[in-house]
Structure 1
């Protein structure tokens, strides 16, 4: 069960880091840069703990898939970036893929 807590932390810290990239403005803003470095560092550390329990492909699929969706939500909230219908449909398919992996894949160890 710790694996999913670590995975959630990995996803959230990666989302914070990625969402902060725009605010770095060519490495000229120290606070967003600190969020980027710390966020990615924490994310990869937590992901390295996750793959002790979950298969790396499954862990990465969940991490990347949910990260894509959450970064898009963060970009909409923080920067006013909007997605069109095809982009939202594509992200819905990504979320659907993560759900299929979790519910039906025998590759996921519980």
Structure 2
């Protein structure tokens, strides 16, 4: 399987796990807690497979950047958390950084 597909699965699993972390209420609710453990387990497994091909710095930058943006959007949509103008600017800069890294850097090994 393509390393970028592994990385995409890792990102989505981590986002699901992090989103469920809020719902787990400090690991006092069973099913959200199970979702957290499975999400993080799958995320790290897929990330480890990604690192066989993609350099760790590139993979982690994409994983972390995409995860931050997606979790912020989930917090905004599902948990009604506010994002102000500076927050939106920060998210835009993260997206820009991930795009620059992937589109223009020779380090990403496409």
Is TM (by shorter chain) over 0.5? yes
Deviation of residue 66 (structure 1)? 0.4
What CA distance in whole angstroms lies between the structure 2 residues aligned with 1:35 and 1:76? 20
**Residue in structure 2 matched with residue 42 of structure 1 by the alignment:** 42
After TM superposition, the structure 1 stretch with the greater mean CA deviation from structure 2, 10-19 or 20-29, is 20-29
What CA distance in whole angstroms lies between the structure 1 residues aligned with 2:32 and 2:74? 14
**Residue in structure 1 matched with residue 62 of structure 2 by the alignment:** 62
SS of the residue 2:82 aligns to:
coil
TM-score (norm 2): 0.96
What CA distance in whole angstroms lies between the structure 1 residues aligned with 2:98 and 2:56? 14
Gaps of 5+ in 2: none
What CA distance in whole angstroms lies between the structure 1 residues aligned with 2:61 and 2:38? 22
SS of the residue 1:26 aligns to:
coil
C-alpha root-mean-square deviation of aligned residues, in Å?
Answer: 0.9
Gaps of 5+ in 1: none
After TM superposition, the structure 1 stretch with the greater mean CA deviation from structure 2, 1-10 or 61-70, is 1-10
SS of the residue 1:70 aligns to:
helix
